[in-house]
């Protein structure tokens, strides 16, 4: 199988959940840095003028959540039936809502809004805690799903912002720990290269 190509800036940002999915499932990929020549050489070629972009042979996709679902369908990370698939999508859509709020804080209101944002996290995380607790700590009990990587990354970036934010959420904390300790993911996240990779494009985290 030829390697997927992931076109993005050299940051974690919106592509990190996709990288984690590929790493955990032994799927080869290469990062393509779009910084050089951005925007003129890139924007006209991108379906919505934005990255990330996934290239699978002659097939090109943008929209990070579409890319996750594509890989989920291709690599059996989409549950076993339509109801499981819908639950995975539902949780992934919830993750997207929380990611949008995070992105808004990071890029538009970091200094003035950080304290209030952190104070509001328990009100959000209680829902995710309840959802996972009802399913033995997983999105789908006993199965890997594409949304695992998006939820993991969401928790991970919030832990950087507020290291104690999962202290009252044991199910979410165990979910995060389990994925962080999977051998491929642990190895990937232990390199100096990964540790130096900015989380966001403006240096805030």
**135: contact with ligand 0HH by CB under 6 A:** no
CA angle 23, 72, 121 (to 5 degrees): 80
Of 7-15, 76-84, 121-129, 138-146, the segment contacting ligand 0HH by CB under 6 A is 7-15
**54: contact with ligand 0HH by CB under 6 A:** no
CB-nearer residue toward ligand 0HH: 14 or 169: 14
Euclidean distance between CA atoms 63 and 54, whole angstroms: 9
Distance separating the N- and C-terminal Cα atoms of the chain: 35
Per CB under 6 A, contacts with ligand 0HH among 56-95 are: 63-65
Q: Which residue is nearest to ligand 0HH (CB)?
A: 201
Size of the residue set binding ligand 0HH (CB under 6 A): 14
Strands, sheet with 53-56, edge to edge from the N-terminal-most edge strand: 29-33, 4-8, 53-56, 59-62
Kind of pairing between the strands at 29-33 and 4-8 = parallel
CB-nearer residue toward ligand 0HH: 132 or 161: 161
What are the percentages of helix, strand and coil residues in the chain, rounded to 5?
55, 10, 35
**51: contact with ligand 0HH by CB under 6 A:** yes
**101: contact with ligand 0HH by CB under 6 A:** no
> What does the DSSP assignment read for 7-54?
EE-SSSGGGHHHHHHHHHTT--EEEEE--TTTTTTTGGGSTTS-S-EE
Residues contacting residue 72 through CB under 8 Å, at least 6 positions apart: 21, 78, 88, 145, 146, 147
Of 49-57, 122-130, 135-143, 173-181, the segment contacting ligand 0HH by CB under 6 A is 49-57
- Is the distance from CB of 124 to CB of 171 less than 8 angstroms? no
CB-nearer residue toward ligand 0HH: 59 or 164: 59
Of 4-12, 116-124, 151-159, 185-193, the segment contacting ligand 0HH by CB under 6 A is 4-12
**11: contact with ligand 0HH by CB under 6 A:** yes
Exactly one of 12, 14, 69, 144 binds ligand 0HH (CB under 6 A); which one? Answer: 14
Q: Which residues bind ligand 0HH (CB under 6 A)?
A: 9-11, 13-14, 35, 39, 50-52, 63-65, 201
């Amino acid at each position: 199988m030829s390697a997927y190509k992931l076109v993005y800036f050299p940051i974690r940002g919106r592509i990190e959940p996709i990288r984690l999915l590929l790493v955990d499932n032994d799927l080869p990929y290469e990062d393509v840095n779009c910084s050089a020549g951005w925007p003129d050489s890139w924007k006209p070629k991108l379906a919505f003028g934005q990255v990330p972009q996934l290239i699978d042979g002659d097939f090109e996709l943008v929209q990070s959540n579409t890319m996750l679902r594509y890989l989920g369908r291709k690599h059996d990370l989409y549950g076993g039936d339509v109801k499981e698939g819908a639950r995975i999508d539902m949780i992934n859509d919830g993750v997207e809502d929380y990611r949008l709020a995070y992105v808004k804080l990071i890029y538009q209101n970091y200094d003035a809004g950080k304290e209030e944002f952190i104070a509001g996290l328990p009100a959000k995380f209680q829902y995710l805690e309840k959802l996972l607790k009802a399913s033995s700590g997983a999105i789908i009990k006993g199965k890997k799903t594409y949304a695992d990587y998006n939820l993991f990354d969401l928790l991970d970036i919030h832990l950087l912002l507020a290291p104690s934010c999962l202290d009252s959420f044991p199910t979410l904390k165990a979910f995060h720990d389990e994925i962080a300790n999977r051998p491929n993911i642990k190895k990937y996240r232990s390199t100096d290269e990964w540790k130096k990779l900015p989380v966001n494009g403006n240096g805030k985290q």
